[in-house]
Structure 1
Amino acid sequence: MNLASHMVKSARNHPDRAVLRHEDATVSYRTLDQGSARMAGLLHDRGVKPGDRVAIMLPNVPEFAIAYFGVLRAGGIVVPMNPLLKSREVAYYLEDSGARLLFAWHAVAEEARTGADQAEAEAIVVGPGAVDELPAAGPRVEDMVDRHDDDTAVVLYTSGTTGQPKGAELTHANLIRNCDIVATELFQLTADDVIFGGLPLFHAFGQTCTLNAAVASGACLTLLPRFDAAKALEILGGHGVTVFAGVPTVFGRLLRLPGRDAHDISRLRVSLAGGAAMPVQVLHDFQAAFDCVVLEGYGLSETSPVASFNTVQAGPRPGSVGTPIRGVEMRVVDDGTEVPHGETGEIAIRGHNVMKRYWQRPEDTAAAIRDGWFYTGDLGRVDEDGYFWIVGRKKDVIIRGGYNVYPREVEDVLYEHPAVADAAVIGLPNPDLGEEVGAAVVLKPGSRTTAEDLREYVKRQVAAYKYPRKVWIADALPKGPTGKVLKRDIVPPAEPDRR
């Protein structure tokens, strides 16, 4: 079994059908098939063997799909990386995963090369036109390396409860089954569907629910590298999108955009929301404005990602994240014991979607997966009808516009500043993004710096979605008897800092 088999099957059944649309370019299944075969040949020539990790640092462009399926075709393991990562982050991902090869987009070549050099890896810069170049040059490997169901296909890095991001090992079986359920049962995709591809493909949500689901169905994915509400609306109408996928933030931005009536969005039949809690009012307003049903679901990188979803057939319940998908169990527990319906506890998940393990982190794996159950760190409840509701998080994670930001990682950068004595990064309510990143900083005696200087310092060293937009200088941070910072007691200043 190989995740790339979906792509090859669709290429043989629909060779001339469009699979990817990006700006003015249209890529057929035949071209994707040939391009991924050339990519597999390139990897073979560079000594990549089955099980080797290959990193991809590309935005939502056709080249991502070619590289992704090319690595899988060659039997390699894909390590997707956010193109916004800075060199220090690039080096960490490469060193931790052991990836010796990185395919990076031309616009981020400097950060990619610097990080690759630090990790003693090779960065191959990819630019527009690779779709046309790969099918016409180099060796082509038609045969697909067969992989066992339990072989790792993708290592997705996700923030945990402590330390640096951890790599969740998702197997071919994890991803194939999750994709098939999404495509056939949840959204009932056909080759006539056009899926909006604005979700980042380096993220599990984008990979499973847009790229892999589209390819498995012979459908078309229309790509948007960077979300822009006006451009998204133009794509919805101009490309005849039938399925829209996004995090709650983008639903709100589309609702606030004037001029919707100028675009024909009549083909849109269903929208799927995930990545963060969806405000019920936004859900209702979007359904009314766009005349389509909105289905909210729940999952994590560690669950491939879909664990539960509302469905049209069962009747969606606004505000809930639906019921577990086929083959998956969910329960609400307190110290491992299931709690009664309606009571709050930690959500635990068991099923074919749960990751194999964290990459080279046996202790973290043992802490997260106990007796076959993956403990999510998210707090929720389940009603009498089996619908789950997310009420909060145990993990110290900020979700900014659907992206997870782990405070410890940002705090570590702040502590590297020579003037910083103490720092705490917290999530601040934001009507557009859900949460914004804020940082309270205590300076060393006699040191001088400004909030703006600290913000710019962090901005230079982490991805754009991670750095704190709001930074303030505090006299001290509230702490408990053991010296632990009490983040719940941190109060930001009344007037926000200038952006």
Structure 2
Amino acid sequence: MTSIHDALGRLWGANDGDRMLERDGHWTSWGSVRSLTERIDRELTVAGCQTGGRVAVVLSNRLESVAALIAIFRGGRTLVTISPLQPPDRLSDDLAASAAPFVLAPAALWSDEVFNRAVADLGATGWRLDDGELDLQVRGTTEAVSGDPAVAIEMLTSGTTGAPKRIPLTRTQLEASLASALRHNDRPDVRTKPPLTGTVGLVTLPIVHIGGLWSLLQSLVASRPIAMLDRFTLQGWHRAVKQYRPAVAGLPPAAMRSVLDSDIPREDLASIRAINAGTSPVDPALVDAFFERYGIPILVVYGATEFSGAVAGWTVSDFHARWGDKKGSVGRAFPGVRLQIVGEDGAVLGVNERGRLQVATLQAGRAGGWVTTSDLAHLDADGFLYIDGRADDVIVRGGFKVSPETVVRALRAHPAVADAAVAPMPDQRLGQIPVAAVELMPGAATDGEALREHCRTTLTPYEVPARIFVVDALPRGAALKVDRRRLIAMLEDLEVPAETLATPT
């Protein structure tokens, strides 16, 4: 594909009156987006932000963030993402840790004393970016500031399993990711339709995380008009799909369950040829139920922020031909991606042998060399990848290793369970024990002891959770993945009696 810089440049061939971005049922024209984009670029230039200059943006699903992203990418600068989903104090700490010399933020934050102090301590130049307007709030350094022109974005990982890490992603990595996905799905590298015509692209996840950002970039480089949700709601997603009739949509597993539990009729989703799912593991039973009700394949993909998106996944043709005998797989490697499994000694393992997953791709940088992930996995003889859990999630119970994902799969197999999560809890005698929380299907009823009896039929005794709590809702982040840190806090708040947990069953 062409460079992101050139692909975004195609937007300037659109008419100012063309619809560009829809949010909450209201369309903003390309002329309005272009005007704000160009003003952001001019202001950054005047302030001394040169090529590679780092610009922190409180990045939310709104017009102003889209304009900022286009301006920064087109200007050869680096976008430093700041999540608006954090409490103000944590957001301010994150901004301070970023050390960015330029800041774009909404009006509400400029009214916060802690945020203003963080900007002042950085010596940064900052603007209020709100209501389609850009206003200088504080002038910092007057010296010209440059940086690494290769880095397009510094993005935080989701932080669902630990403290978020800021990952630098280069333009080359992003372009490799976008091109690989196009080839994987047999789509042309270059879109020949006039800009801002054709099918509307849907952005349903927060663009401050890789899944939402990737959806936005896909639509921007294809010069599609975009419908963006502030956050996923069943009503908002249903409205957008029914109105704009997309061929492909994206949903995390929790959102799929919401659709399945709703009264959305099959005909309202008739335009959708496939749904991509890659934010968290997907229960094969959920895929089967969705396909049975709506006739829509769920294309599970595997990726990470570090890979600039997905590196493996299903295609529609693979789904129809192979899902029946490959359930549970996350698909095959994307074009340009190599996968292998290694043991604890680093030796490459054979077919169906479980070990650490390694990935080699330009999407991960490092000149395409091997990157060792935290995921335990195996590859079958046909190249289908299966994720067996995370090496850093393993619970060691009295010397026995328990994979939380294995326990989650067992719990999800119970007809009353909609979703489940498992976390380690400290135990004086055994070191750690697995404790689970589950959400039930609408109208279903069961209890923790019944679920433990169910687990005993498929798990080894040491894998059976010491206790299982039925909860109203599992704690989830913005991308609807279970937040492990909040899950542990929830289980601690439930005050599990120590004597209940002491002995494996």
TM-based fold match above 0.5? yes
1:276 to 2:280 alignment: yes
Q: What does residue range 43-442 of structure 1 map to in structure 2 within 5 Å?
A: 43-106=44-107, 114-115=114-115, 117-118=117-118, 120-121=121-122, 124-127=127-130, 129-130=131-132, 133=133, 151-158=150-157, 164-183=163-182, 185-186=184-185, 188=187, 192-208=198-214, 210-260=215-265, 264-315=268-319, 317=323, 318-335=327-344, 336-355=346-365, 372-396=369-393, 428-431=436-439
**In structure 2, C-alpha distance between the alignment counterparts of 1:390 and 1:14, rounded to whole Å:** 46
Displacement, 1:168?
1.1
Cα 1:187–1:294 change in 2 (3 A) is farther
Q: What number of residue pairs does the alignment pair up?
A: 409
Distance 2:435 2:18 in 1: 45
- Tell me: CA distance 1:35–1:377, structure 2 relative to 1, closer, same or farther (3 Å): same
Task: Classify 1:490/1:66 alpha carbon distance in 2 versus 1 (closer, same or farther; 3 Å).
Answer: farther
Conserved in 2, the CA contact under 8 Å of 1:58 and 1:105?
A: no
TM-superposed deviation, 1:236: 1.1
Distance 1:473 1:198, change over 3 A: same
- Is the 2:95–2:118 Cα contact (8 Å) retained in structure 1? no
Query: Is the CA contact 2:351–2:378 (under 8 Å) kept in the aligned structure 1?
Result: yes
State the secondary structure of the residue aligned to 2:67.
helix
Question: Counterpart of 1:484?
Answer: none
Partners of 1:43 and 1:74 within 8 A in 2:
no
Give distance in 1, aligned partners of 2:370 and 2:102: 34
| Aligned partner letter, 1:264 | D
Cα distance, 1:239 vs. partner?
A: 2.6
SS of structure 1 residue aligned to 2:386: strand
Q: How far apart are residue 176 of structure 1 and its match? A: 1.4
For the Cα contact (< 8 Å) 1:90–1:116, is it kept in 2? no
Q: Is the partner of 1:114 in helix, strand or coil?
A: helix
- The percentage of counterpart residues that share the same residue type is 21
- Change over 3 Å in CA distance of 1:267–1:17 after alignment to 2: farther
Are the counterparts in 2 of residues 304 and 355 from structure 1 also a CA contact under 8 Å? no
- Contact persistence 1:57–1:104 (CA under 8 A): yes
Q: Whole-Å Cα distance in 2 between the matches of residues 490 and 154 of structure 1?
A: 47
1:482 aligned residue? none
Residues 292-334 of structure 1, C-alpha deviations (whole Å, 9 max, x = no match): 2221100010000211111124446342111111111111111
- For residue 249 of structure 1, report the CA deviation from its aligned partner: 1.1
Q: CA deviation at 1:4?
A: 3.7
Where do 5+ consecutive residues of structure 1 fail to align?
135-145, 357-368, 412-423, 434-458, 479-488, 492-499
Q: After the TM superposition, which of the residue ranges 328-337 and 16-25 deviates more from structure 2? A: 16-25
Query: C-alpha separation between the residues in 2 aligned to 1:280 and 1:476?
Result: 35
Which one-letter code corresponds to 1:154 in the other structure?
A: I
CA positional deviation for 1:29: 4.2
Change (3 A) 1:351 1:104: same
Return the offset for 1:155: 0.8
Instruction: Kindly provide the amino acid, as one letter, of the partner of residue 272 in structure 1.
Output: N
Contact kept? 2:353, 2:378, Cα under 8 Å:
yes
**3-state SS in 1 of match to 2:42:** helix
Distance (Å, rounded) in 2 between the aligned partners of 1:334 and 1:34: 54
Contact 2:51–2:75, Cα closer than 8 Å, also in 1: yes
Distance 1:72 1:490 in 2: 55
Following TM superposition, by how much is the alpha carbon of 1:7 offset from its aligned partner in structure 2, in angstroms? 1.7
Q: Distance in 1 between matches of 2:369 and 2:159?
A: 19
The whole-number CA distance in structure 1 between the counterparts of 2:499 and 2:110 is 39
Q: How big is the shift at 1:214?
A: 0.9
- Measure, in 2, the Cα distance between the counterparts of 1:426 and 1:46: 53
Q: 1:447 — aligned with what?
A: none
Please list the CA deviations of residues 401-459 of structure 1 after superposition, one character each: whole Å capped at 9, or x if unmatched: xxxx9x99xx9xxxxxxxxxxxx9988444489xxxxxxxxxxxxxxxxxxxxxxxxx9
Q: Which moved more, 1:424-433 or 1:193-202?
A: 424-433
CA distance in 1, matches of 2:499, 2:167: 34
Contact 1:3 1:153 in 2 (8 A): no
Q: Is the 8 A contact 1:2 1:147 kept in 2?
A: no
Residues 8, 33 of structure 1: 8 Å contact kept: no
Give the corresponding residue for 1:12: 13
Deviation at 1:72? 1.7
Contact map agreement 1:174 1:304 (CA 8 A) in 2: yes
Can you list the C-alpha shifts for 1:164-197, whole angstroms capped at 9, x where unaligned? 4321111001111212332454273865232321
Q: Based on CA coordinates, which of the two structures has the bigger radius of gyration? A: 2
Which amino acid in structure 1 is aligned with residue 277 of structure 2? Answer: A
8 Å contact kept, 1:230–1:257: no
Kept after mapping to 2: 8 A contact 1:102/1:116: no
Alignment partners' CA distance in 1, 2:16 and 2:433: 50
**Partner Cα separation in structure 2 for residue 252 and residue 163 of structure 1:** 26
The 1-side partners of 2:15 and 2:385 are apart by 39
Query: 1:252-307 CA distances to partner (integer Å, 9 max, x unpaired)?
Result: 1111112436x733222221000111111111222233332221100010000211
Cα distance in 2, alignment partners of residues 426 and 36 from structure 1:
50
Query: Cα RMSD between the aligned structures?
Result: 4.1
What secondary structure is seen at the aligned counterpart in 2 of 1:79? strand
Three-state SS of the structure 1 residue aligned to 2:117 is: helix
Superposition map of 1:438-453 within 5 A: none
Distance in 1 between the 2:29 and 2:297 partners? 29
